[in-house]
């Protein structure tokens, strides 16, 4: 019988408690700030200033500067809100679920995945407030603490609750029971894509290949592949029920996605979220930082397009043909969206500079000398 190949280690051999501590802490304490960091942070900061300008102009003029209209009352703001919330889910999975499952490979990436979650949620939290039109009354939306046990479910199933914003509506394409697991799988999918887009350059520029090893890339790619297949299953069920369910409005929505004015984006969604990620079945590509970085970027684009299709295409042609319309995002929509990306990256640059990006304690538990001898 052929021997099974030995999996790559979660930390390369030869490290001690002291060397692990020194390597991680030296990035913050003794390593000089590079020109690349200043350049990256400077660009991200300038983009963030564009976000502040767009928000200031929005408060001055109102949401009429955006592309929202009747019937598309939800535009980029809700698309971007759901997208950012989804990205933040990877930190929750890595920090909590993989810990419960005793997956030791999470130790190297959980710290900056948790930071990524905080920054992504901060970006997501802007959009509901900005979308109100009267942001100074945003506190009206907050539920009273512990009223009907609202808070515990929100902590445990954030994206399921987000999916209910759509599923409780009567709009074709929204009124479906598959949305909660479909949204959660998509959130993990896009979240791990963002984790890889951060982890790959971080391990390269900070020389952390011994801590974020090939095994981390391989496992993260497998999670992406698995959740991508769940998302593909959701697409299939959605299309099947539109055809088989006997509801002419659902059937028309399916036709509109395939042949309507936004059909190009729907086909790009299928290519980015289902087609291209299938190359992750090939181990050589799963462990290649270059290809994994590109595929992760494709998945992030595809998941943003999915939110766009769910929100815009479902609304732009509703029950009455007399109220049909097109949605065209304005430059203010794009400035706000791109600005949040700049804000997210600026926060990440500051995090990498002032805090250890990898948990020293958890990395030390992976060393042989950390094992308890009976």
pLDDT digits (tens, 9 = 90+) for 50-59: 999 999 999 9
Q: Is residue 36 part of a domain?
A: yes
Q: Is residue 120 part of a domain?
A: yes
pLDDT in the model for residue 114: 86
Its pTM stands at: 0.89
Q: Residue 366 — pLDDT band, cuts 50, 70, 90?
A: confident
| Residue 339 confidence (pLDDT) above 70 | yes
The number of folded domains in the chain is 1
Share of the chain above pLDDT 90, in %: 38
Instruction: Give the separation between CA 237 and CA 253, rounded to whole angstroms.
Output: 14
Q: Is residue 338 part of a domain?
A: yes
Comparison of pLDDT for 338 and 9, the residue scoring more: 338
- Domain with 280, as residue range(s), is 17-136+148-369
Instruction: Give the separation between CA 155 and CA 275, rounded to whole angstroms.
Output: 33
Q: Is residue 11 part of a domain?
A: no
Which burial class, exposed, middle or buried, applies to 126 when counting CB atoms under 10 A from its CB (0-12, 13-18, 19+)?
A: buried
Q: Which of 350, 348, 289, 357 is nearest to 23 (CA)?
A: 357
Q: Is residue 322 part of a domain?
A: yes
Q: What angle do CA 113, 341, 313 make, to 5 degrees?
A: 105
Q: Is residue 336 part of a domain?
A: yes
| Range in 45-49, 88-92, 153-157, 350-354 with the lowest mean pLDDT | 153-157
Q: Is residue 143 part of a domain?
A: no
pLDDT in tens, 144-158: 665 545 544 744 567
Q: Is residue 1 part of a domain?
A: no
Count the alpha carbons within 13 Å of 268 in the hemisphere toward its beta carbon.
15
pLDDT in tens, 78-123: 999 999 988 887 777 777 777 777 778 888 888 888 889 889 989 9
Comparison of pLDDT for 2 and 331, the residue scoring more: 331
């Amino acid at each position: 019988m052929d021997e099974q190949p030995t999996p790559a280690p979660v930390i390369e051999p030869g490290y001690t408690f002291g060397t692990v501590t020194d390597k991680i802490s030296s990035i913050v304490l003794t390593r000089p700030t590079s020109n690349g960091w200043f350049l990256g942070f400077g660009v991200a900061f300038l983009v963030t200033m564009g976000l502040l300008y767009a928000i200031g102009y929005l408060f001055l003029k109102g949401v009429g500067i955006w592309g929202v209209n009747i019937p598309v009352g939800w535009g980029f703001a809700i698309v971007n809100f759901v997208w950012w919330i989804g990205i933040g889910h990877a930190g929750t999975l890595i920090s909590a679920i993989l810990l419960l499952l005793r997956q030791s490979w999470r130790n190297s990436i959980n710290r900056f995945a948790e930071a990524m979650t905080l920054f992504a949620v901060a970006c997501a939290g802007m959009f509901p407030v900005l979308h109100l039109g009267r942001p100074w009354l945003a506190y009206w939306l907050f539920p009273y603490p512990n009223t009907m046990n609202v808070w515990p479910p929100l902590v445990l199933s954030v994206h399921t609750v987000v999916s209910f914003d759509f599923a409780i509506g009567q709009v074709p394409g929204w009124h479906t029971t598959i949305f909660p697991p479909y949204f959660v799988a998509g959130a993990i999918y896009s979240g791990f894509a963002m984790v890889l887009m951060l982890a790959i350059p971080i391990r390269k520029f900070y020389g952390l290949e011994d801590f974020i090893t090939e095994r981390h890339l391989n496992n993260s790619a497998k999670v992406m592949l698995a959740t991508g297949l769940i998302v593909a299953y959701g697409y299939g069920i959605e299309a099947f029920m539109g055809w088989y369910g006997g509801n002419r409005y659902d059937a028309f929505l399916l036709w509109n996605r395939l042949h309507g004015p936004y059909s190009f984006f729907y086909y790009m969604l299928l290519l980015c979220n289902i087609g291209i990620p299938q190359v992750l079945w090939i181990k050589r590509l799963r462990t290649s930082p270059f290809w994994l970085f590109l595929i992760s970027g494709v998945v992030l684009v595809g998941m943003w397009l999915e939110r766009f299709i769910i929100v815009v295409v479902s609304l732009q042609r509703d029950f009455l043909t007399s109220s049909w319309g097109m949605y065209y995002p304005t430059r203010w929509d794009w400035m706000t969206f791109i600005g949040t990306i700049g804000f997210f990256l600026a926060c990440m640059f500051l995090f990498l500079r002032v805090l250890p990006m990898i948990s020293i304690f958890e990395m030390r538990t992976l060393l042989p000398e950390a094992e308890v001898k009976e």
